[in-house]
Amino acid sequence: MKQFDIVIAGGAMAGMTLALAINKYSQGALSIAVVEPYQADYDAHPGFDSRAIALSLGTVDLFKQFGLWQDISQLATAIKHIHVSDCGHAGMTDIDHQEIAAEALGYVIELADVGRYYNDRVSGCDGIHMLCPAHVSQIERFQHEVRVTLNDGQSIVGKLLVASDGAMSTCCELLGIESNLHDFDQVAVIANVKTSQAHHGHAFERFTSSGPLALLPMSEHRMSLVWCLNPEQAKRMMSLNDVAFMQSLQNTFGWRLGKFETIGQRSCYPLTQSFRQQNVSHRFAVVGNAAQTLHPIAGQGFNLGIRDIATLTESIMSRLDDPGAYPVLSEYRRRREQDRVATASLTSSLVGIFSNDYLSFRIARNLGLAALDNVAMLKVPLLTRTLGLVAR
């Protein structure tokens, strides 16, 4: 039976980042097993697919501490400016990187690129052992260890098991750790698009009656599209050919980037918020999407998960001899509580305000956008959270 200090279930962005962070902070003193169901084909891996995500400034600071940013920065596109508008109405606001005296407001990375980099990085770490393809099928916990049985019958032992296996976490199910679910009755349609005009590092978020439409800057004049629609609209949009889809997108977004010229493969997924009040248990911790999955309206989900990872890593460093000890997990739970609740509440509130066309909400959000554009004392607190510059 193989023995490790830490077993991580799930080797997508959260799990691999956690493994590399712990390896960096502990200087390789802790042995780590990463249990991952999918082989390292990053064009097909669901955790490292063609999607792009936005990294907040706070996340970039953490990646620097993890020793990862120097290489990831070569794969990233800077967000220099964000334009927020309300479709069909006057409300809008602009945020520029110069307002906060920073080189960028955030950065966009493609998950497939980071997956390849992580694979190369982990292969050079003696303290990280990939068990792949494999998934957790049974968990037994004892006073000083946790025993994990894999689907191939192999058993491994660790002092701590960390669930980073997504919103439908198998580990949490096996241990009976429940999740509070909220269905937003929206579907996110995702694709990469190319425009006739250069984006110059500009990102856009446009609120419509059915949900937000976001475009994030990428390389080669491309933009990463996330279009939130009600289920019937999403079904219709997915059925259109590329020309008809881009015409509909053009009508909704406008001509700020010129003409939409080409579009990549489209995909879609239903939008729900899941939140596990309990993010620790005996010899067990939960991070990333396994702990909480948020609506993409403000791009907070992944960045919140990275703050989980940073805090858990710091807590573990206090007890290198026993990373699953009660004081370690108690500290992690306590430090993460306020940030998790506040970020989830902010995200769900924004969905309610900006995803409908009731007159009262239209007036309120347009006044709010106008105020944000003109009153610094209103803009700064919101920027602080959305840029990930919050206490952990």
Which CATH number fits the domain that encloses residue 308? 3.50.50.60
State how far the alpha carbon of 27 is from the alpha carbons of 18, 31, 236, 322, 325, in Å. Answer: 14, 11, 52, 16, 20
- The verdict on residue 78 lying in a domain is no
Q: For residue 56, which of 105, 110, 113 has the smallest C-alpha distance?
A: 105
Q: What is the pLDDT of residue 386?
A: 72
Structural domain includes residue 230 = no
pLDDT at 85: 77
Q: Among residues 117, 128, 115, 176, which one has the least CA distance to residue 7? A: 128
> Does the pLDDT value for residue 323 go beyond 80?
yes
In a domain, 289, yes or no: yes
Structural domain contains residue 172:
yes
Asked if the model's pLDDT at residue 109 lies above 80, the reply is yes
Cβ-based burial of 113 (10 A; exposed 0-12, middle 13-18, buried ≥19): middle
13-to-107, 313, 334 alpha-carbon distances in Å? 16, 15, 24
| Residue 308 falls inside a structural domain | yes
Which stretch, 37-51, 290-304, 345-359, has highest mean pLDDT?
A: 290-304
Q: Which residues contact 338 (CB under 8 A, 6 or more apart)?
A: 391
Give the structural domain span for 124.
2-51+111-180+272-349
Q: What pLDDT does 370 receive?
A: 45
pLDDT of residue 165: 97
Over residues 383-389, mean pLDDT: 72
227 dihedral zone (left: phi>0; alpha: psi -120 to 50; beta): beta
Q: How confident is the model at residue 372, as a pLDDT?
A: 43
Position 22 in a domain: yes
Residue 371 has pLDDT above 90, yes or no: no
Residue 235, domain member (yes or no): no
- pLDDT confidence tier of residue 383, bands split at 50, 70 and 90: low
Residue 303 has a pLDDT of 95
Q: Is residue 133 part of a domain?
A: yes
160-163 and 6-9 strand pairing: parallel
Distances 63 to 39, 78, 213, 234 between C-alpha atoms, Å: 25, 15, 28, 35
How many other CB atoms are found less than 10 A from the CB of residue 379? 16
Quote the number of domains for the chain. Answer: 1
